[in-house]
Amino acid sequence: MNIEENYRNLLFDDYDSESDGDGDYNKNDTLDTSWIVEYEKKLMYDEYRLFLKTDVTSVTFEIYYLDHDKTTVEQIIPMKYTLKNPNQITQHELFSIIHSYQQVDKKYYNFHTLLFYSFEFQDNNVIRGLSEYLRKSSCGDGDGDGRSNIIEYTNLLSIDTIYIAPVLTMFHDIIGFSVLLYED
């Protein structure tokens, strides 16, 4: 065979022929595409799920370390916490988390404030509520149909359990706590 014939043989697509060399190919065989349909359904469900209210199973924490005068942030440590019970965090859980972050680099930090951030829509029509919220937020004239909450706790003993309402899945990452600790 010369070079031109070798080249033409390489261009020939074996799958276009009736046999793939093993003699197992049958013209009546069909390609199984059911996995593509299932994959498309899963993608659509995952996209749709972002707009469903679901239980909050984890929250974020940002631990802020302030200097002795409480005027300068020395360090920030972010962390994600999986709730023991969906939609709620107890005083004991908060104490455990805060206590585990009070000592850094042989320095002890006292508790100052706990800020809780949440976000929820009041309107049942999620798409309309979301679009109105975004429109009003960009104009700066109110908080739209969404309600953004920041709750400040300065005394952890006053907390028994913080309940978190189920929210749209796409907003789960917004829900969290900021803990302000200051150097002793």
Check pLDDT > 90 for residue 3. Answer: no
pLDDT in tens, 62-78: 999 999 988 889 999 99
Calculate mean pLDDT across residues 128-153: 57
pLDDT at residue 108 in the model? 95
Domain for residue 78, yes or no? yes
Domain for residue 84, yes or no? yes
When mean pLDDT is compared across 17-26, 31-40, 107-116, the lowest value belongs to: 17-26
Check pLDDT > 80 for residue 50. Answer: no
Comparison of pLDDT for 97 and 7, the residue scoring more: 97
pLDDT at residue 8 in the model? 58
Q: Return contacts of 142-145, CB within 8 angstroms, 24+ apart.
A: 145/121
Q: What is the β-pairing status of strands 107-121 and 103-104?
A: antiparallel
DSSP string, 94-113: HHHHHHHTSEETTEEEEEEE
Nearest CA among 78, 108, 114, 79 for reference residue 94:
114
Domain for residue 19, yes or no? no
The domain spanning residue 177 has which CATH number?
A: 3.10.20
Domain for residue 72, yes or no? yes
CB contact at 8 A, 40 and 156: no
How many domains are contained in the chain?
1
When mean pLDDT is compared across 21-25, 50-54, 73-77, 167-171, the lowest value belongs to: 21-25
For residue 96, what are the domain limits? Answer: 55-183
Domain for residue 74, yes or no? yes
Domain for residue 88, yes or no? yes
Domain for residue 45, yes or no? no
Domain for residue 138, yes or no? yes
